Structure 1
Amino acid sequence: MDGNQTETNASSCLYQPPEWLHPVTYWYILVICVLGIVFNVFVLTVFCLHKKACTVAEIYLSNLAAADLLLMFCLPFWAENVNKKYDWPFGGGLCKMVNVFIIMNAYSSIYSLVLISIDRYLALVFPLSHERLRRPLLAKVGCLVVWVLSFLLSVPQLIYRDVKIIDNSTACAIYYPNDATHAGCEIMQIMFVFIIPVFIISICTFKIIQTLRCRYRDGLNIQKKEKRATFLVLAVLLAFLVCWIPFHIMKIIDTLDYVEVLTLTCNTRIFIYMWHPILLYFAFFNSVLNPILYVIVGKNFRKKVREVFKQWSHRRRATFSLTSMRTQMTKS
């Protein structure tokens, strides 16, 4: 929704958002931004400052945190847009840039999870034969490829997103040149940001759970480090799916209606327009939830946090001691 009033495919089917929706959404987004920035900066700080190099899984989780942080920096612009009832106050350049970064976050997050799923699949199902594919260097290259792919898939936002004056309001929205381009871009987005990655994640997760069950049943031991990493990854995957699947299902239904595969009633369209932004803002909460899961589920991450604080405490004491010695030498 890019305006105060949304018109459905039927000209007589109009949806007027309630007045309370804009201020509530505004403060909700701002709270998410503050929490998301603090939590994800904390995660990245722990991974970067720890004396040991990151494992492959931690590299992917760091990439996920970086993607979430990018989203958090963009959301205040969108919060102000919502507060002004979708009257965009920041100009055409920021209209394009902010939305490109938001879409890049969606792609980079889901494909970071794809890499995490594949890594856990290889670690548990093929722990020895595919060890060469689980090197930190390849993980970093994979993260770089994810960001390049995310940018390329965001190009339609860069091309078609713009500001226009509609009913005395400056709307920041996508304006496709024709219906075919509109349908093609929407279908591409659904395929690459939802169906394909979720299909890969589902297969890997099924194999992971199947392998864990077989090894428990056969009495085979799994390294504690690998088991902890796997449980953390499964928790992150579950959180992502719970937060994002409702929005994508709604998006798919709306797209099928647009391309006339489905024919929705006026009430159904109004329901979609009403819930579409609510489900999107609920999905944004996933960027706050991930760091919380690292602390609650990630025993290795909590260990890293304690070690980083110890490192920081030792450095602080060493700096204080050195400063005291210099002060004494100066006085003498």
Structure 2
Amino acid sequence: MYPAVYSFFFIVSFPANCLSLYVAWRLVMKGNSMAVYLISLSISDLLYSISLPVWIEFALHRDVSEGLCDAVNLVMYNSFYAGSGLLCCISVDRYLAVVYPLYFRKVRQVSTAVIVSNAVWILEIIVHILLLHHMGALQSLRLLCNQRIPMEQKDVNVALTRIILGFLVPVFIMTFCFQQIMHSLKQSPSILTEERRKVGRLLLLLLLIYLVSFLPYQTVMLLRAILEPGNCKWAKMLEDPYLVTVAITTLNSTLDPIIYCLISESAKREIRNAVRRGIEVFTRRNCFKMSTEIQIVS
């Protein structure tokens, strides 16, 4: 399963996130604060996408150095939870823009978004280092690619912390923002209501994709934390569900940029402009080449 699934996701995810990164950069240049979070999210997803070929090699039982495997493992978990924090930032940014459009202008500036985005990365890295230290992975990096089976109490503590801070808290924040935006739309007769509905659809799709991608994985991790310690029977029974749900998490990094680029009018406008510029450059080059060939022949 892994080679086929990861190959497909890499083929889709890498160019999609490159496009999303380009679109977000263009929007940042125009003062769009949410695009700052999208840049960080695209970078996070790109890092994860780049790691997929290594996981494919690992799944095919080919030789992968421990150092490379450890590095890829770190990238995977950092992408998981940094991405969760950045999706929360996007949700809060849209919540403030729709529910309180006349307030929090300074909070929604590009400079503030850069600070918050960097803070999310720094906080996530610090928390992740502390968790790795707690489970002893910093002292023996081999634990990253060769996990203890069945789980020990240290692993259980790390798993529960990740479930609460890295999954339940982001789900609560995104759900709250979506609910408040929908409530605001019901009371708003403004001509901007349709644009706000698009914001609501964007947050709903991001939330649904997040749940579909991570809920199975987090559920299996919760079951492992409860049933697996000291019990090899449960460890064996939960091994295959764990491997399958890890692969499902790749959906998030693949679909997020596609959803954003399809729903956001500003993003679609930038994509159309990029396509038009590309066609113009291609046409000019072909015309110049044909003109040169005609001159040579004549």
Per the alignment, do residues 143 and 122 of structure 1 end up closer, same or farther by CA in structure 2, a change over 3 Å counting?
same
1:199 paired to 2:162: no
**1:118-157 matched pairs, under 5 angstroms:** 118-155=92-129, 156-157=131-132
For structure 2, the residue ranges without an aligned partner over 5 or more in a row are 293-298
2:274 corresponding residue in structure 1: 308
1:108 corresponding residue in structure 2: 82
Partners of 2:263 and 2:208 in 1: CA distance: 13
Partners of 2:264 and 2:197 in 1: CA distance: 11
SS in 2 for 1:60: helix
2:192 alignment partner AA: I
1:62 to partner: Cα distance:
2.6
1:303 alignment partner AA: R
Q: Contact 2:28 / 2:110 at 8 angstroms: preserved in 1?
A: no
1:131 to partner: Cα distance:
1.8
Q: Contact 2:228 / 2:235 at 8 angstroms: preserved in 1?
A: no
2:296 corresponding residue in structure 1: none
1:181 alignment partner AA: K
**1:1-332 matched pairs, under 5 angstroms:** 24-49=1-26, 52-53=29-30, 55-84=32-61, 89-155=63-129, 156-157=131-132, 159=138, 162-163=141-142, 172-174=145-147, 179-215=152-188, 219-222=189-192, 224-258=194-228, 266=233, 270-314=236-280
Partners of 1:182 and 1:265 in 2: CA distance: 15
Partners of 2:37 and 2:28 in 1: CA distance: 18
Per the alignment, do residues 188 and 145 of structure 1 end up closer, same or farther by CA in structure 2, a change over 3 Å counting?
same
Q: Cα deviations across residues 33-77 of structure 1 (Å, max 9, x unaligned)?
A: 121112111221233356952512222223222211111111211
Partners of 2:98 and 2:174 in 1: CA distance: 15
2:295 corresponding residue in structure 1: none
SS in 1 for 2:163: helix
Q: Cα deviations across residues 249-297 of structure 1 (Å, max 9, x unaligned)?
A: 221122122469xxx995x665532211112211212222223323433
Percent identity between the two aligned chains:
21
SS in 1 for 2:249: helix
TM-score, normalised by the number of residues in structure 1:
0.75
2:239 alignment partner AA: Y
Partners of 1:160 and 1:275 in 2: CA distance: 29
Q: Contact 1:160 / 1:174 at 8 angstroms: preserved in 2?
A: no
Q: Contact 1:104 / 1:154 at 8 angstroms: preserved in 2?
A: yes
TM-score, normalised by the number of residues in structure 2:
0.82
The number of residues matched between the two structures is 290
Q: Which moved more, 1:178-187 or 1:30-39?
A: 178-187
SS in 2 for 1:285: helix
1:168 corresponding residue in structure 2: none
Partners of 2:52 and 2:153 in 1: CA distance: 30
Partners of 2:139 and 2:209 in 1: CA distance: 32
Q: Which moved more, 1:149-158 or 1:55-64?
A: 149-158
1:61 alignment partner AA: L
Q: Cα deviations across residues 149-202 of structure 1 (Å, max 9, x unaligned)?
A: 2222332446166338xxxxxx922459x9443232222212221122222222
Partners of 2:239 and 2:77 in 1: CA distance: 20
Q: Contact 2:82 / 2:124 at 8 angstroms: preserved in 1?
A: yes
Q: Which moved more, 1:63-72 or 1:43-52?
A: 43-52
1:134 to partner: Cα distance:
0.6
